[in-house]
Amino acid sequence: MRQTLLDLKRTRSEQVVDSRTGMSGRSEADLLGLLVRGQEAFVTTDDLMLELFPDTGANESRRRLHLATLRRTLQDGGECVDVVAASGRRPRQAARGRSEGSALQRDGHAVAEPRGRTFLTGAIPEPNLPLIGRARDTEAASRGMLYGQCVTVTGAEGVGKTRLALEIAQNSAFADGVCWVSLEATNMPQAMLDVVGLQLCGDLSAGRGVFVQLKAQLADKEMLVILDGVDGAPLTAAELAEALLDAGDGIRVLATARRPLKTRREMVVQLAPLDVPAREASHGEILSSAAVRLFVAATRSAGSRFAAEEQNLAAVATLCRELGGIPLAIELAAVHGDPMDGLVRFAETHQQPLSAGANDDTPTPCRGELAAIIDLSVRALNDPARIALRWLAIFDASFSADGACDVLAAVGLDRPCAAKALADLVARSLVIRESPAQAPRYRLRNAVRRCALEMLDASAERPAATHAHASYLCMHFDRMRSHWRDTPIVEWLLDFQRELAAFRSASAWARSISGDATLAVKLAVVATPYLFDLSLVDECRTCASDALNILESGAHTLEEACQEKLQLLAAHGASIVYTHGPGPDARAAWLDVLALARKTGNREFELRALWGLWIIHRYAGEVRESLACAKEFSELCGEASTVPQKLIAARMEGISLHYAGRQAEARTILEPMIGADANEHLRWNIVGQQIEWRVGSLATLARICWLQGDGAKALELAEDALRAALQHQNAISVCYVLAESLVPMALLSRQFEAAQCALTTLSEMASRFGFSFWLVCSKAYTEFLGLVREGDARAISSAQTTFNQLRGVGNMAGFLTLAGQLAHSLMDAGRHAEALAIVQEALKRAEANGEHWYTAELLRIKGELCAAANHKVDAACLFSIAQDRAGLQTSHAFSRRAALSLATLWHEQGRTEAAIRSLEPFCI
């Protein structure tokens, strides 16, 4: 630390200024010198006070102010300084590991040294002012967390709940860090769950599945989770708090809200306004009051030269009293400009009582005082800043600087003017800067936004601002889409996820009576690819369907409508497969795309339609049709196709050949794809092609290896496929790997514990994202497992019901394997006729559709039925046919089973030598 920070040079008349850190001021230098001399030992607060203020005595507010300055200076907010309990500070071990220990503290002393603070998110705001007058509240909240409770900091708007939470975040020492989750801009449960899922689980579209993920992600963590501003969806916030505490013993939760969450383990810390000086207070009493100290700190932080003269202090004391001691109002007043210009008049004329509009059972809203000071601040703005404030209120969540400039361009502010206006609003604390410098995002304070919306309505500009906001989103999503090939998938999905709440709001307005139908269609066209890639398939389907209905009204030109209709039909067809299965609706959507693409000569959408129809044929068990689609796709690609299209054509053909029972040919096609460079952006960016080509190829190749007798290789490939799917953070790909590879392989290998684990994951993800198709598939495999484990009348009855459902909806995923196991269980129960009927139906369907990969096993099961009915000759014939069929398909796993069944029959007939000879090829 001594070598890398700065060389302390001190004189009686000079300030210490370091060119690298930018830190200045005698007090900061004194504090740093004390920490350096302490090396790695704790430095007590008393030592800090003695060093900083040897003549004037301890001053808590000044001590905190200097410490905050030092923290900002030393490597981005405290990487070199640890704050341990309330008893001392010390230099952080910058490049060394930390010893194991607990983050909890008891009676003001650390129980053990923490392992280090690793913030899980970089979005923890840096406080711009010291925390003043909240020592008891901070102590109470810390005590509540010590005993494993959910601490809810409540109070009126602007009373300083977030600032108290920031103080606790900065001074906590948890082994796995502090995760700050800002929920101020979330006013819907879905949005709140998405934000928490992204921050804590890294899931771009968690939804209610976040409750399951929290347990898995945080079970062994020791960390503090801060949910800031949960008033938009308090019931959901209460559920989240309970789930977080249940996730692990090392998790602590702190929430900020205007009202208690009413959870089972809640401790409420209600913040009152800061203490204000009495009307007859002396000069010293005024200076010592928390409200006045905050005002002075805020004015100095804003660069004002505030003189603590008696006249000025009296005016500030009056102002603080009239503002009710509300910290936000005081801060806004302090950065208003000249604190004695206008503010004194406000203090003299503003007489609205603090309790106006309050309910008996809720904290005082304090909106009157806030609204008045906000109004005063707005009147002090220049015209561009005032216009910007009104129009930026149309963002109901955070926004980027580019977004602000694009929206403000609609009202005549050019980019430099808009950027300056935004900077002015940030400087006056009307707009909050939320994110790190490299990717800043901004948000209006809630109270400010309410006032700004009122001004927007009063000026009759809301319709224009709303239209500008929706138009900006269209342009923004379109710009993002143009860079798909240059940007990793996760990056542009994360960008869209940030704007998801804004899109939903803009889309709802555009579809409304007062909205813009043309804009609604454009929004749907640009947004549906993102919704699908985030696995929000039902929202994608609904969005596309609504836009298609608007198109039917004929409000667009023919050429424009054709292009938009193609895109929307493709989105509708791709999503409905997963929400409703490969039924008539999905088939009709893709056939419409194919017909319209051929009519307009759109080769790209003709390829998309063939891809979509291939998926439907594949999931419906129509292997001949899927193989025909694959060949037509390949022929249409021709020499002019892109690399992703060629890879997809090969994957389509390879997978179809596998299900046709032609394993050697399929492996020849798919195996070279595994070695392709996965780091290149070889992705065909269309709706419905979410399963990355390498993931799909790995999953099918694993099945082929298992059938060909290479179980170890099959498991390795399946695990690689799952890792690749998880890396893409895509639920569709994960479900595909589970349903197509891991689950059936585990069931057929009789590895039932592994199958149960994979099935649980498949069922949870399918339920979470509304994948009805894979829910049915999961149910079929679950019935298979139940038949193997139980095999009683109840299990058979349940399996028969599911079997009939599969038959009815045309979902053939898992149909043949369930048919085989159901027939086996019926045979064991003595219900031979029913078993034979099921096998016959499965064989007939496989023959009609060309799905021959499981035919050899069905023939073997039919042979077992004949043997059980004492038709030994027929059984032997069927076993031989099954073995020959499996041999032709190079399906050694099924060939071995057929050989074992035949050998068992021969052994029972006394032909032991022949039985042994038949098994010898499999004993090598």
CATH of the domain at 140: 3.40.50.300
308 shares its domain with 422: no
Residue 89 has pLDDT above 60, yes or no: no
Tens-place pLDDT, residues 190-204? 778 777 777 776 665
450 shares its domain with 534: no
Residue 115 has pLDDT above 60, yes or no: no
Q: Please enumerate, as own/partner, the contacts of 556-560 that have beta carbons within 8 Å and a separation of 24 or more.
A: 556/518, 556/521
Q: Would 154 be classed as within a structural domain?
A: yes
Q: Would 733 be classed as within a structural domain?
A: no
Q: Would 880 be classed as within a structural domain?
A: yes
458 shares its domain with 408: yes
pTM of the model: 0.73
- 77-81, 605-609, 824-828 — which is least confidently predicted? 77-81
Residue 103 has pLDDT above 50, yes or no: no
Q: Are 718 and 698 in contact (CB under 8 A)?
A: yes
CA 651 to chain centre: 30
262 shares its domain with 160: yes
Task: Read off the pLDDT band of 123 (50, 70, 90).
Answer: low
524 shares its domain with 623: yes
Q: Would 573 be classed as within a structural domain?
A: yes
Number of domains in the chain: 6
Q: Would 374 be classed as within a structural domain?
A: no
Tens-place pLDDT, residues 351-375? 443 333 333 343 333 456 777 788 8
Q: Are 256 and 250 in contact (CB under 8 A)?
A: no
521 shares its domain with 392: no
Q: Region 453-465: what's the mean pLDDT?
A: 93
- Range 498-526 burial, b when 16+ CB lie within 10 A, else e: bbbbbbbbbbebbbeeebbbebbbbbbbb
Tens-place pLDDT, residues 802-855? 888 777 666 677 788 889 999 999 998 889 999 999 999 999 999 999 999 999
Q: Would 642 be classed as within a structural domain?
A: yes
Domain boundary among 40, 66, 96: 96
CATH of the domain at 31: 1.10.10.10
Residue 892 has pLDDT above 80, yes or no: yes
287 shares its domain with 267: no
223 shares its domain with 339: no
**Cα–Cα distance for residue pair 601/410, rounded to 1 Å:** 37
Q: Phi first, then psi: what are they for 529, rounded to 5°?
A: -60, -40
**Cα–Cα distance for residue pair 343/331, rounded to 1 Å:** 12
176 shares its domain with 39: no
Q: Would 630 be classed as within a structural domain?
A: yes
Closest to 589 measured CA to CA, from 611, 618, 561: 611
CATH of the domain at 824: 1.25.40.10
Name the residue range of residue 62's domain.
1-96
**Cα–Cα distance for residue pair 160/361, rounded to 1 Å:** 20
487 shares its domain with 458: no
Two tokens, residue 410:
């609609």
Q: Are 556 and 518 in contact (CB under 8 A)?
A: yes
Domain boundary among 335, 353, 371: 353
**Cα–Cα distance for residue pair 872/863, rounded to 1 Å:** 9
CB proximity list for 581: less than 8 A, separation 6 or greater? 619, 772, 773, 776, 809, 810, 811
**Cα–Cα distance for residue pair 18/773, rounded to 1 Å:** 64
588 shares its domain with 541: yes
Q: Phi first, then psi: what are they for 471, rounded to 5°?
A: -65, -40
**Cα–Cα distance for residue pair 674/846, rounded to 1 Å:** 29
637 shares its domain with 682: yes
Domain boundary among 310, 337, 353: 353
Task: Read off the pLDDT band of 715 (50, 70, 90).
Answer: confident
Q: Would 669 be classed as within a structural domain?
A: yes
Phi-psi region of 15 (alpha: psi -120 to 50; beta: other; left: phi over 0): beta
Residue 439 has pLDDT above 80, yes or no: no
Two tokens, residue 602:
């759109």
